[in-house]
Amino acid sequence: MYLGAIEAGGTKFVCAVGDASGKILATERIATETPEITMEKVIKFFMNFKIEALGIATFGPVDLDPESGTYGTITSTPKQGWANYPLLKTMKKKLSLPVGITTDVNGAALGELYRGAGKGLNGCLYLTVGTGIGGGAISEGHVLQGMSHPEMGHILLRRHPNDQEFEGICPYHKDCLEGLASGPALQARWGKPARALPSDHSAWEIEADYLAQALMQYVLIVSPKRIILGGGVMKQAQLFPLIREKLRLYLNNYVAFPELNADIDAYVVPPALGDNAGITGALILAKQSLVK
């Protein structure tokens, strides 16, 4: 049985065909232009295969309320032509197949949970720290979803004592997590690209503090079974031990689980699937959409 998967991003659509075991058999990268141009190529790609279902992990915000009339529609986005684009409806109509849809980070969470760094658990939280900061969570097999999907990149933080001047770059909140700790925020704060900051630069201690504060809130609010930190900024591997240590200091033995103490190295972890988490999750979604 063949299944289709799309990871829809702001710069490219990754399309893939795989089997039910998660093995990927063919992929194609299609640039994100207007929906007319991009979607025609996407549909053409899938026409070459006899797939039985499709899963989509997309940039957002996207309407994920199954009871909504605009379920599966990209809601607001500055990307030309994509605001109010009915992504799910279009693919269902063109392919006449069951199609599942979720956010890119929910997709990555699904992929990592069932085939990556979360294997064996029934839940996890995936956070990407890149151009933006976003997260998805799974609790007892259920992808967390409410009024909207989570927007956990925009939570409020306490300012680090050595970072009182920088305003933050979030257009909505200035110094929310994304406004202080995303790749572009680091660039604005330090005057050079994040990747150009040496690994012993004082930027990383501040960055780890902000991410540890975010993890503190996530642990207390959704209590994930594991936290997976991906995205470009997390390529700075020195962040992991710093974040773990600071998270322990913030928690101060509240929630006295081994995961947050002796076993914390296995609790706050990098992705196991690298850049394939999202597309792997989309493939899982395709399979799940067959059962529903």
Of 133 and 283, which has the nearer Cβ to ligand ADP? 133
Per-residue binding string, Zn ion, 108-147, x by CB under 5 A, is ----------------------------------------
Indicate which single residue of 56, 99, 113, 170 sits in contact with Zn ion (rule: CB under 5 A).
170
Of 96-104, 138-146, 179-187, 192-200, the window that binds a copy of itself (rule: CB under 8 A) is 138-146
Q: Which does residue 126 touch among a copy of itself, ligand ADP, Zn ion, none (CB within 5 to 8 A, set by kind)?
A: none
Q: Does residue 173 interact with a copy of itself by CB under 8 A?
A: yes
By CB under 6 A, what part of segment 171-200 binds ligand ADP?
183-184, 193-195
Q: Which does residue 123 touch among a copy of itself, ligand ADP, Zn ion, none (CB within 5 to 8 A, set by kind)?
A: a copy of itself
- Spell out the SS3 assignment of the chain: CEEEEEEECCCEEEEEEEECCCCEEEEEEEECCCHHHHHHHHHHHHHCCCEEEEEEEECCCECCCCCCCCCCCECCCCCCCCCCCCHHHHHHHHHCCCEEEEEHHHHHHHHHHHHCCCCCCCCEEEEEECCCEEEEEEECCEECCCCCCCCHHHCCCCCCCCCCCCCCCECCCECCHHHHHCHHHHHHHHCCCHHHCCCCCCHHHHHHHHHHHHHHHHHHHHCCCCEEEECHHHHCCCHHHHHHHHHHHHHCCCCCCHHHCCCHHHCEECCCCHHHHHHHHHHHHHHHHHHC
Q: Does residue 276 interact with ligand ADP by CB under 6 A?
A: no
Positions in the binding site for ligand ADP (CB under 6 A): 128, 130-132, 183-184, 193-195, 231-233, 235-236
Positions in the binding site for a copy of itself (CB under 8 A): 61, 76, 123, 135, 139-140, 142, 144-158, 172-173, 213, 216-225, 250-257, 259
